C-alpha cells in the first residue's frame, strides 16, 4: 500500500519511533538522482517533511518496508487505517 495521504499528514510520520525514521532517511529515489535509471512505471517519489527536514523517497525503495515487530505494529496499523480512511 502506498501511503500517499498518510505521508502528507505529518503527525503520523512525526510519531514514528527512531528506528522507523532512520529506515526512511536511509532510502533514496533513483528518479531524483538519475531519472533514466528509474522504472518508467514508477508513480514518482514521496515528498514530505520528517523532523523538520524535507525528504524525497522512492515509493519502491526499502524506505517504507518496515519489519513487522511488536514495536512497529501500532504504527503500521495507524498508517494503514489513516490511508484507508483517506481513500474512502
CB 80 within 8 A of CB 1: yes
pLDDT tens-place values along the chain, 88 residues long: 667 677 766 788 889 999 989 888 887 666 666 767 777 777 666 778 889 988 877 766 666 778 889 999 999 999 889 888 888 8
pLDDT of residue 18: 93
Residues 6+ apart with CB under 8 A from 17: 71, 72, 75
d(CA 74, CA 51): 20
Domain boundaries, the chain: 4-87
Amino acid at each position: 500500500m502506498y501511503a500517499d495521504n498518510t505521508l502528507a499528514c505529518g503527525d503520523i510520520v512525526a510519531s514514528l519511533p527512531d528506528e522507523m525514521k532512520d529506515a526512511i532517511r536511509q532510502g533514496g529515489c533513483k528518479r531524483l538522482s538519475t531519472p533514466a535509471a528509474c522504472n518508467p512505471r514508477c508513480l514518482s517519489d514521496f515528498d514530505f517533511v520528517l523532523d523538520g527536514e524535507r525528504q524525497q523517497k522512492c515509493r519502491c525503495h526499502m524506505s517504507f518496508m518496515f519489519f513487522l515487530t511488536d514495536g512497529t505494529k501500532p504504527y503500521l496499523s495507524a498508517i494503514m487505517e489513516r490511508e484507508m480512511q483517506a481513500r474512502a
